[in-house]
Chain A
Amino acid sequence: MKPAALQLGVAPPANRGLAILDFFLRLIAIVGTLASAIAMATTNQTLPFFSQFVRFRAKFSDLPSFTFFVVASSIVTAYLVLSLAISILHIAKANVVNTRVLLLVLDTAAMGLLMAGSAAATAIVQLAHNGNNKVNWFAICQQYNDFCKRVSGSLIGSYAGVVVLILLILLSGVALSRR
């Protein structure tokens, strides 16, 4: 790279490309996490039969892991929407190092939170699908079919969000090392 091109305030073309890619990846992550939060939060299946004392209903709030998943997904979605502003700043201005490091730190925290929620929900979904003979836990998916399908589908969106967040962190790292 010729020395004449590295002036203050002008982004080298590669970093601007990285910043634009960062912005679009954030949009994809927002869609994924928002969809998965909504899909999980709107689960509500009532079985057509009921006894005199108990109604057979399954919601996400019946299982604490799913509640944690909805909360974590919502927090990460809100954070991603707010970080769009910083991402636009990175496209416009080149030599802001401190906000890039800050964005990387917050992205790492968000990824950890989202992965924690997704893994907890996955563990419960695996139990619900297969049951466990050794501890006498019954596979509830055999009865609550729609509930299980919806919950499993919402996990896909959040795992996609995790993968995109990993890519965002790597992009930030490469952009930091390139200045």
Chain B
Amino acid sequence: MDHSTHSTKESGDIPIPMTDSKSSKASSPLMPATTNKTAKQPPVSRLKRGLGVVDFILRICAIVTALAAATAMGTTSQQLPFFTQFFRFKADYDDLPAFTFFVIANATAGAYLVLSLPFSIVCIVRPHIIGARLMLLVFDTIAVPLVTAAASAAAAIVYLAHNGNSNANWVAICRQFDDFCQRVSGAVVASFITSLIFVVLVIVSAAALRRN
């Protein structure tokens, strides 16, 4: 006679298939299949989901600022109303290599951000995923120095353009090219904001990567 099956039928509970007595004493009974598993999210999942939402919103803000910086710098062109016989006084963004690099770097950062939006959505939907988060961390870590470099190189040139440098005999061109300077300075500010947002994105990814 098999005692284990006899006991389950006597009690009148849901017939849970139990193994032989030795192993059944060691293991705890299996839960019935009717438990609602999605009734309440554990707090860790909610925290990671919240961080994912913050990440997504910050990415959208960074797209706006990066593309604004790139277009503001890329559409600069000021021509002074006077000119000599041989020379036309015009200032473009591609007169200075630092500004060209600035436009390229910010456009690249904007494109990367747009492409990373689906991964960010995946991190919201599945809060415990590691691969996508780690990949976002890697690329965000590369994007921080790229955008910072572009912003600060352009800032150095803008500072020179505003103040000149008597030791090197460099003339402050902003006195003549007014609109050009204002536009370029605004683009530099937007790029610094983008860089700050990238730093925050790295921190958010790192905080969400922790295994609790």
Residues of A within 8 A of B (CB): 58, 62-65, 97, 101, 104-105, 108-109, 111-112, 115-124, 126-128, 132, 134-138, 140, 162, 166, 169-170, 172-174, 176-179
Contact = CB atoms under 8 A, between A and B. Distances in A.
A112 B157 contact: no
Main secondary structure of the interface of A (DSSP, over half): helix
Interface of B: 91, 95-98, 130, 133-134, 137-138, 141-142, 144-145, 148-157, 159-161, 165, 167-171, 173, 195, 199, 202-203, 205-207, 209-211
Contacts of B209: 173, 176-177
A139 B116 CA distance: 42
A166 B95 CA distance: 32
30 contacts: A63-B168, A108-B199, A108-B203, A109-B199, A116-B148, A119-B150, A119-B151, A119-B152, A119-B153, A120-B152, A122-B153, A123-B156, A123-B157, A126-B98, A127-B160, A135-B96, A135-B173, A137-B170, A140-B168, A140-B169, A169-B141, A169-B202, A170-B137, A173-B206, A173-B209, A176-B210, A177-B130, A177-B210, A178-B211, A179-B210
Contact of B95 (A128, A134, A172, A177): A134
Contacts of B173: 135
A97 to B, nearest CB: 5
A173 B137 contact: yes
B95 A132 contact: yes
A137 B171 contact: yes
Contact of B138 (A120, A134, A170): A170
Contacts of B98: 123, 126
Contacts of B203: 104-105, 108
Given A124-B156, A173-B205, A176-B206, A136 B148 contact: no
Contacts of B211: 176-179
A179 B195 CA distance: 29
B165 A63 contact: yes
Given A62-B168, A63-B167, A179-B211, A105 B206 contact: yes
A108 to B, nearest CB: 5
